[in-house]
A = this chain, B = another copy of it.
Amino acid sequence: MPSTTKRTEQYQYVQETLKRSGLKWTRPRCLISDVLFHSDRHLTVEEIFRALREEPPIAVATVYRTVRLFENLGFLAGVDLGDGMERFEWIHSARQHHHLLCTKCRSVTEVDADILNEPKETVFLDTGFQIDEREITFTGICKECKLKE
């Protein structure tokens, strides 16, 4: 298990949350949280699995189970990029955001979540529906691809 000083804080939080529920701090959980915590991209189960294929590798089934667990505990958010595979990203406390997925180059840009504040309010006033959206993926064309057209 890695143990840089920077990592200590994150590990303690995860570890304590697990312990509080009678769950255990294991090698797979440590490594998987590590990969997700330090990735700025949104990883598929396959990608997490490949990132950890060395040493005694971790079973894919374990990656699935761990990712579901972390999701339920609120550490991870599932992201749908519309390619049939679920992706995961660590929820870093601050910075709520949405994603802009370019349909040409498949690049992903992040935008601040508050761009939806006004629509949320409109919807609530109109229909009484309270939108509670952690993450939305908007598709479209990014600046670069637009210029190349």
List chain A positions with a Cβ less than 8 A from chain B: 80, 82, 100, 102-103, 109, 111, 115-116, 118-119, 122-123, 126-133, 136, 138-143, 146
Known: A128-B146, A146-B128. Contact between A111 and B138, CB under 8 A?
no
Chain B contacts for A136, CB-based, 8 A = 136, 138
Chain B contacts for A127, CB-based, 8 A = 100, 109, 111, 143
Give the docked Cα–Cα distance between A46 and B119 (Å). 33
Contact check, A130 vs B123: say whether CB atoms are below 8 A apart.
Answer: no
Contact check, B115 vs A100: say whether CB atoms are below 8 A apart.
Answer: no
Contact check, B142 vs A131: say whether CB atoms are below 8 A apart.
Answer: no
Q: Give the residue name and chain of the B residue nearest to A84 (CB).
A: B86
Contact check, B142 vs A128: say whether CB atoms are below 8 A apart.
Answer: yes
Can you name 16 A-B pairs with beta carbons within 8 Å?
A80-B82, A100-B131, A103-B132, A109-B127, A116-B119, A118-B118, A127-B143, A128-B143, A128-B146, A129-B142, A129-B143, A130-B141, A130-B146, A132-B140, A132-B141, A133-B138
Chain B contacts for A139, CB-based, 8 A = 131-133
